[in-house]
Structures are given as structure tokens and as C-alpha cells.
Amino acid sequence: MGKIRRNERIGAMVKILCSHPNKIFTLNNFCEMFQTAKSTISDDVVIIREIFNKFELGDIETVVGAAGGVRFLPKLFEKDFEFIQDICDKLSVPDRILPGGFLYTSDILFMPDVIQKFGEMLATQFQHTNPDFVITVETKGIPIALMTARALNCPVVLARRENKVTEGSTVSINYVSASSKRIQTMSLVKRAVQKGQKGLIVDDFMKGGGTARGLMELLHEFEAEIAGVGVIISTADPEEKLVKDYKSLMVLKQVDEVQRKAIVEPSSWIRK
């Protein structure tokens, strides 16, 4: 490989950093990769940080210490509110209202670019907690859990409704669904979580908070800590959830089957 020019180094570093959010790369990593001095890489990092600030692409953070280096952190900007508002408008059309007062969301929740953005936005609210893993319940919560975990640089742990013989021994709990008031079961593989680890609970939808509460109780069985709870959509009713502290990207204010009216709005913390 011949001499690498600065614009080539910067382009490669941007790609590497953005492809691995929250992962620390030492300056020596880049020095060896590009066969250049650490002072040169430091100058490149300054340029990248200025570019990201100018075009609102996120944060480039320098981490000091023996294990330090540089990493990319997702960050919220004004354009993210516009993004969420656009999604709310799409979800508020009458054609999405389903029998029983439900809202059709599957097309949006399975669009890779949209769900990746959702994951990055949730990650901004919990990256300071440094979770060891993201946990969700099968199945619609899996895409948002994966994208949030990617943005936090940690694995996904999956709780199941039914045990899978291929996964070995499990811990199961019964919990009460806040919306249906029915007793349900969820289980987690014993080897999936270690004592003292910290888990971030993520799901696609929250009405009464029963599922999130069940996941919290399940993690307590493993003597694990709770890093927080994040969901894509929460309902305005009931106002009192079984989970007190949570972050949702959007709030479902109203679904009226008779009048064919649905109202979805960005959460208040996003509007701020």
C-alpha cells in the first residue's frame, strides 16, 4: 500500500467509527492501520469532530486513560425531532386503525433505516448508564433491541414466551399483563445473564407496563441491575404505568375506531 493521504484516512476513520458506535478505538489502532504518527491521527480526529459538529452527525469523543482512545456517540439534533414528527404523522392516518382500537405499525417497525434511527435515539438516553446488554421479549421488540444494542456496543438478550429445548436450562416467571390482566409467562436462558450485570429493557410498545415490569422481575431473579426502560411508542392511557421511569419516542394519545381518528405525538423530552 502506498502513502495514504489525509482525506483517505479521514474517510476510512469516519466509516470505521460510525459503523461501531460507542466502541473505543485507540489512536494506536489507527496509527498501525495507516502507518502514520499518533500526532497526525490526533489532528485527523480534530477535523472529524469539527465535521460532525458542523453537519450534526453526532459526537466524536476522546476517552482518556490507559484504555482510552476515540469513539463515535449518537446525539440528538433538531432534525431528529422532525424525523419523529414525520413518523407520527404517518402513524396518525385513519387507515392504520385496526379492529379493537389497535394501530398498525409493523411496516414502520421493520424498515431498517427507520429502526436504526430509533435505536440510536434511544441509545442517546441510556449510553451514560453503560449497560452490559439490551433485553427484550420476542418478537416485535427484536428489531429495536438490535439497533439500540448496536448503538450502545453491547449484545442483545432475548426473553421468550415459551422455552426452547435448544437453549438449555432457563429461569421462568409469571407476570400479570397490565392491559389484559392475564397471567403470562416469560423465560430467560440461565447462561444469558451474569450476576451483577446491567440490562437495558427495550420494547416496541407499552400500554400498562406489564411486560417491562415482568422483564424487571426476571432480571431480579438473576441479581442483575436495571439500566432503564425504553420503548418506541407508549400510550397516554393509562397514565400510571407499572414502570415509573421509562423513555418513549412517541405517545399514542388516541385511537377512535368509530370516528376513525388516531393521534400520535413525539414524547415531550424529544420536543425539548
- pLDDT tens, residue by residue, 251-266: 999 999 999 999 999 9
The pTM of the full predicted model, rounded to 2 decimals, is 0.94
**Residue 69 main-chain phi, psi, to 5 deg:** 165, -135
Residues 51 and 185 in one domain: no
**Reduced to 3 states, what is the DSSP secondary structure of residue 182?**
coil
Q: Domain span at residue 93?
A: 78-271
Residue 108 resides in a domain: yes
Residues 163 and 238 in one domain: yes
CB 171 within 8 A of CB 221: yes
CB 81 within 8 A of CB 75: no
Residue 107, all three cell numbers: 411496516
Residue 196, all three cell numbers: 451483577
Tens of pLDDT along 194-203? 999 999 999 9
> What pLDDT is recorded for position 1?
64
Residue 1 resides in a domain: no
Q: Which helix (H) or strand (E) holds 265?
A: strand 261-266
Domain end among 16, 39, 73: 73
Residues 98 and 10 in one domain: no
On the question of pLDDT at 67 being above 80, the answer is no
Phi-psi region of 35 (alpha: psi -120 to 50; beta: other; left: phi over 0): left
Residue 104, all three cell numbers: 398498525
Q: What's the mean per-residue pLDDT of the chain?
A: 94
User: How many domains does the chain fold into?
Assistant: 2
How far apart CA 13 and CA 48 sit, in angstroms, is: 8
How far apart CA 114 and CA 107 sit, in angstroms, is: 10
Average pLDDT over every residue of 119-127: 98
Residue 180 resides in a domain: yes
CB 218 within 8 A of CB 248: no
